[in-house]
Amino acid sequence: MSDMLVRTDADRDARAADGRDTRWELPETPRARRRRTGIRGVVAGAALGAVVAAAALALPPVDVVQAGPLHFDADATHLMLERFDERGVYSLRYVHGDRAEVLVPVRNDGWLPTTVTGISLDGRPAPMIDPVGAPGTPVELAPGEEATLTVEVRFDNCEYYTERAMDVYRDVTVTTRTAGVDVSTRVRLDNDLVVRSPMMTTCPDRVSDRGAFLRGG
């Protein structure tokens, strides 16, 4: 005999003799069946949405880290000053109007594949090395995979600096797309990148006032 609620008088009498539930079970109407199925679907959909949201929140906030020392193309005159600062710094020679490439090795430290869509030096007003592009992006990185990203820069804006002023870069900004989510991450450089302002004779139209740039002239 079924363990469901009773449907006939015989069921009720048998259940009453055994001390079991003797309530009548009403037949389920098609409308009630659709309502019950619909509620289950809504609950299942909400549970799946909660799982997806939790997974998104569990994504690591930083996917990309520096994986080795900076490198520079042959046109960039640079010097590693190991005794300057605790970890040493790279010093780039400013040549007004010239272009150079800064090569940044990175690694995907996340547990999901990610696509690097761009990389740029830390933004600031009137930089002495002005980022102009990121050739080679986008780049796809599997978990644990490494790649070398290129930042193309132009030496510019020395007119807004005094002679021998320094512009120091400690980060690069890496933009990625992971699981459909776009993220911008500031990646700390292992060694600072320093650019010294040139002498007066090699910097045209010097005003020595970065505020002039912000004021538009």
Claim to verify: residue 47 and residue 130 sit in the same structural domain: no
Claim to verify: residue 85 and residue 188 sit in the same structural domain: yes
Q: How many domains does the chain have?
A: 2
Among 27-31, 172-176, 208-212, top mean pLDDT goes to: 172-176
Q: Quote the tokens at residue 43.
A: 């609950």
For residue 160, the enclosing domain spans: 64-214
Mean pLDDT value of segment 15-22: 61
Claim to verify: residue 85 and residue 30 sit in the same structural domain: no
Within a domain: residue 3? no
Could you give the percent of the chain with pLDDT greater than 70?
60
Residue 58 to residues 33, 39, 44, 174, Cα–Cα distance (Å):
38, 29, 21, 20
Claim to verify: residue 127 and residue 199 sit in the same structural domain: yes
Within a domain: residue 4? no
Within a domain: residue 27? yes
Of residues 208 and 57, more confidently modeled:
208
pTM: 0.65
Nearest alpha-carbon partner for 145 in 72, 58, 64: 64
The least confident of 14-28, 68-82, 104-118, 188-202 is 14-28
CATH number at residue 81: 2.60.40
Within a domain: residue 193? yes
Q: Is the pLDDT of residue 124 over 90?
A: no
State the pLDDT confidence band at 143, using cuts at 50, 70 and 90.
Answer: very high
